[in-house]
Homo-oligomer: A and B are copies of this chain.
Amino acid sequence: MKKIYADNAATTSLAPKVLDVMMPYLTTQYGNPSSIYSIGAEARKAVDLSREAVANAIGATPGEIYFTSGGSESDNWAIKGVMHQLKSKGKKHIITTAFEHHAVLHTVEALVKEGFEATYLDVHSDGIVRHEDLKNALREDTGLVTIMYANNEIGTIQPIAELAKICREHGVLFHTDAVQAIGNVPINVQDENIDLLSLTAHKFHGPKGCGALYIRKGVRLQTLIHGGAQELGKRAGTENVAGIVGLAAALTNAIATMYERHEKLTSMRNRLIDGLLTIERSRLNGDRDKRLPGNVNMCFEGIEGEALLLSLDLKGICASSGSACTSGSLDPSHVLLAIGLPHEIAHGSLRLSFSDENTEEDIDYILKTVPPIIERLRSMSPLWEKIMKENK
């Protein structure tokens, strides 16, 4: 059976050439970077060069890059670290959006439980934050604004440079969860006035379990993981050398191929969107243009997301839905609710996300496969029956 992996927003395959670069550190080069002897120094050098590569990729300096275990840790560290640091200065207010990743949302909620206060900016029906909303939300005691660069479900890209500029002008720190955006859109932390930025390797064909946090020079934040003097004394733990090397190689490659990939994926994406929109009572979620090149997110009324995904899996298509099936929660996607969809529609979403490895043939196959599945599920759906009756 044909196999199409169309869930690159969840995770990506590890690129073979990235694995090649990692292999020495999974075999002979096993030294601890903190060790003084040659095999340790080799590992140290690999980590240092990786730090430089990541810095170059986002317009930072190596001393501003800290390796972590992934996007979630980076988000937690940035947000808790800054707010705990600023607490003594009387800053107790955080601004974020209603459709952040849970790594941000649940972190903010944890802080709120501690006594901090949060404002959730509206993301409007197109999934884009408005800068006026940010301006209105800023308070005297705002310590941090955290807004994701691109949304992980509907792929909408935020006007980060504009939002960060407002923060800079108001002397408020700005963090962005760029986990989905990095490697897909050009990012320069200097030009865009970004103070902290989270990324994770497995979203751009790097290994799982390795991420980074950019911390602008001069920004102070408390440590999340205390211990040894690794990562310039700010993040303890023996370095995941292979992971770090893989992250840097994958990111370097993603940046180098960004423009041609952008073009190819945008055209594939648009063709798929147009095709799927011909299905009765379907809708595209999120702005059509200000979105990641590889992201398609649709709702089909009268059907439920998981049943659609299972059916697609039976046809060899790996995709995902807004609803966090395995999370133990049956709530529909908080992202789709944030852009104003009613519950019953939010339950029926489909996210298809593409990478370099996908082809036009994949799009053909998906366009051929989805409509009959939708039809079948609708034919057995009492909800669809109702919708049809009401609209006769």
Quick one: given A19-B26, A69-B73, A226-B76, are A36 and B326 in contact (CB under 8 Å)? yes
Complex formed: what's the CA distance from A292 to B222 in Å?
35
Q: Is the CB of B19 within 8 A of A32?
A: no
Q: Chain A 309-336 against B: per-residue CB contact (8 Å), 1 yes, 0 no?
A: 1101100011110001111110000000
* Residue A242 interfacial (CB < 8 Å): yes
* Residue A359 interfacial (CB < 8 Å): no
Q: Is the CB of B36 within 8 A of A320?
A: yes
Q: How far is the CB of A373 from chain B (nearest CB, A)?
A: 14
Most B CB contacts (10 A, CB to CB) among A40, A233, A312 go to: A40
Q: With a CB–CB cut-off of 8 A, which chain B residues contact A237?
A: 69-73, 103, 209
Chain B residue with Cβ nearest A79: B226
Q: With a CB–CB cut-off of 8 A, which chain B residues contact A328?
A: 229, 233
Quick one: given A72-B236, A240-B209, are A103 and B228 in contact (CB under 8 Å)? yes
* Residue A295 interfacial (CB < 8 Å): no
* Residue A56 interfacial (CB < 8 Å): no
* Residue A5 interfacial (CB < 8 Å): yes
| Copies of this chain assembled into the complex | 2
Q: Chain A 1-39 against B: per-residue CB contact (8 Å), 1 yes, 0 no?
A: 000010100111110100100100011001110111111
* Residue A200 interfacial (CB < 8 Å): yes
Q: Is the CB of A76 within 8 A of B110?
A: no
Most B CB contacts (10 A, CB to CB) among A10, A40, A103, A208 go to: A208
Complex formed: what's the CA distance from A72 to B324 in Å?
30
Q: With a CB–CB cut-off of 8 A, which chain B residues contact A309?
A: 36-37
Complex formed: what's the CA distance from A76 to B226 in Å?
7
Complex formed: what's the CA distance from A313 to B40 in Å?
11
Q: Is the CB of B238 within 8 A of A313?
A: no
Chain B residue with Cβ nearest A12: B30
* Residue A202 interfacial (CB < 8 Å): yes
Q: Is the CB of A208 within 8 A of B242?
A: yes
Q: With a CB–CB cut-off of 8 A, which chain B residues contact A22?
A: 26
Q: How far is the CB of A246 from chain B (nearest CB, A)?
A: 9
Q: Is the CB of B7 within 8 A of A30?
A: no
Q: Is the CB of B27 within 8 A of A209?
A: no
Q: How far is the CB of A202 from chain B (nearest CB, A)?
A: 6
Quick one: given A70-B238, A320-B35, A329-B229, are A207 and B306 in contact (CB under 8 Å)? no
A residues near B, CB below 8 A? 5, 7, 10-14, 16, 19, 22, 26-27, 30-32, 34-40, 44, 68-73, 75-76, 101-104, 106-107, 109-110, 200, 202, 207-210, 222-229, 233, 236-243, 306, 309-310, 312-313, 317-320, 324-329
Q: Can you add 8 more A-B contacts, CB < 8 Å, to A10-B35, A233-B328?
A: A7-B35, A36-B310, A37-B318, A68-B69, A103-B225, A202-B238, A229-B324, A240-B243
Contacts A/B (CB < 8 Å), 22 sampled: A5-B39, A7-B35, A11-B238, A12-B30, A19-B26, A36-B313, A37-B317, A69-B69, A70-B237, A70-B238, A72-B225, A72-B237, A75-B227, A76-B224, A103-B236, A104-B227, A107-B226, A107-B227, A109-B226, A207-B242, A209-B240, A233-B328
